[in-house]
Amino acid sequence: MSQEVIRSTVVPVIYLLSTILFIFGIKQLAKVKTARRGNAIAAVGMLLAIIGALLELGVVDYRWIAGGMLIGTIIGAVFAIRVQMTSMPEMVALFNGFGGIASALVATSVYWDLVVQQGPAGKVYEALGTDEAITVMLSILIGGITFTGSLIALFKLQGKLKKGAPILLPARHYITFVLLFASFAFGGIAVTAGASDSVVWVLALSAVSLTLGILLTIPIGGADMPVVVSLLNSYSGLAASMAGFVIGNPLLIIAGAMVGAAGLILTQIMCVAMNRSLLNVLVGGFGVADGASGGGGSDEYTSVTSCGPEEAAMILENAESVIIIPGYGLAVAQAQHAVRELADMLKARGTKVTYGIHPVAGRMPGHMNVLLAEADVPYEELLEMDVINSEFKNTDVVIILGANDVVNPAATKDPSSPIAGMPILNAHEARSVFVVKRSLSPGYAGIKNELFEYDNTMMIFGDAKKVVQGLIGEVKDL
């Protein structure tokens, strides 16, 4: 078969097959029973796509391709095998960043090859074609923002950068606006410039894009990370799609657009779960400006009851039903295995144990589900907010592990609260509530949690894992 036939017929068919596999893969990935197979199907689609790309190239110098793939495979595999389940948000953020920068690099490489290295003396849009020239600039912009944005998100998730707190520059909205305008201007100038003049503008565009990624992410606080991580996921798809326009490959356009849409939906789900608009999250600084003055009453706690594991175990002894509400504190303390152990002991005593999962608990969509799955908690026991909220009033004991704002009754009762209207888990309706927490320090919203003062609430101060292990010891002795 001639290379001609391979390029015009065989490769497009392979790409089409690959597209179909991606669609089936994502579809199955969205159902619990078929998810693992869906992931495998998508991976086969990717393998086919790479085979297609190599066939399309024909006989070339494969050394750099093989070397790059080998290095990438080793690094990717080491990351994927070694990462702890508690670090999954960091991992996803990092991979998003790699996807974004790869797309920007592809576009820059195409530009450099066709314009700078072998380009004619004319304008950039003549050397590349107008459409391609514009999408090169868009790829650099979106890919650059995705890359540095993801790195900042990664640092924030690791607790670096002011422990993940928002960093608010003065006049940051103006700076962002000016930079965004500058990026369009630089991109526009680069498209219409002569080949040799355009280099400086493309470099300027790259620099502005990378800066924008940083500036757009630093004002966003740690607990808003589920929104940011899903949005960056969407961007990485969009960047791939733009790269598809640059090289005229529909497979990239389709796969990128599907990932972009999926990321947007997750972003939307996260925003709804916090009762905030996407714009409100992106503007950032939540709870910083109005935290001190927001809400009714003072921030001081007056009537907090606390107890130790012994007392809690005695109440647990007589409980017929227990709901565990995990939050970010559970991830920090790596308490998921201890929690499972405690739940097993309670179940052995005939107690019904379920878990109430708030959609934005943790630092990434589905964070708690992954952690508890790692500890072999059956996913049937993890109940969504809408399902479990009617159960609380018939529940004997609720154990809150490292969650705060998502169980604050002020969200439903106090219209002046900064978190008013945010859907919460109605933990306060249970007969007894144990709040396991290091201290009375406020959660992300920066406000006090009136649940801690309720008569049916008892605080157990300490690290989530140590407290749960203490409870296990006490329950064992019953």
Partner 1 sequence: MTLGPLLIGIYVFVLAGFVGFEMITKVPPTLHTPLMSGANAISGITVVGAVAAATTGAPTVANILGALAIVTATINVVGGFLVTDRMLRMFGRKKPKALKAETAGVPTEGREAVSK
Q: Which amino acid is at 455?
A: D
Alpha carbons 421 and 413: distance in angstroms, whole number:
9
Using only C-alpha atoms, what is the Rg of the chain?
26
Q: What are the E-state strand segments in 265-339?
A: 321-326
Q: How far is CA 370 from CA 83, 299, 316, 362, 382, in A?
A: 13, 34, 26, 11, 11
Asked whether 14 and 55 are in contact (CB, 8 A), the reply is yes
- Least Å distance, CB 6 to partner 1, is 14
Asked whether 251 and 244 are in contact (CB, 8 A), the reply is yes
Angle at 103 between CA 187 and CA 136, to 5 degrees: 25
List the catalytic residue out of 61, 344, 386, 405: 405
- Least Å distance, CB 85 to partner 1, is 7
- Least Å distance, CB 105 to partner 1, is 4
- Least Å distance, CB 243 to partner 1, is 5
> Considering beta carbons, is residue 30 or 292 the nearer one to partner 1?
30
> Considering beta carbons, is residue 357 or 397 the nearer one to partner 1?
357
Residue 435's DSSP bridge partners are: 400, 459
Residue 197: alpha-carbon gap to chain centroid? 39
Q: Angle 464-477/309-317 helices, nearest 10 degrees? A: 50
Alpha carbons 212 and 135: distance in angstroms, whole number:
18
- Least Å distance, CB 463 to partner 1, is 13
Q: What is the largest CA-CA distance in the chain?
A: 86
Pair type for strands 352-357 and 382-384: parallel
Of 252, 276, 242, 296, which Cα lies nearest the Cα of 108? 242
> Considering beta carbons, is residue 17 or 116 the nearer one to partner 1?
116
> Considering beta carbons, is residue 55 or 283 the nearer one to partner 1?
55
Q: Is 405 a catalytic residue?
A: yes
- Least Å distance, CB 343 to partner 1, is 14
> Considering beta carbons, is residue 98 or 461 the nearer one to partner 1?
98
> Considering beta carbons, is residue 243 or 458 the nearer one to partner 1?
243
Residue 326's DSSP bridge partners are: 401
Q: In what order do the strands lie in the sheet with 457-461?
A: 382-384, 352-357, 321-326, 397-401, 432-437, 457-461
- Least Å distance, CB 263 to partner 1, is 7
> Considering beta carbons, is residue 290 or 344 the nearer one to partner 1?
344
Q: Which residues are catalytic?
A: 405
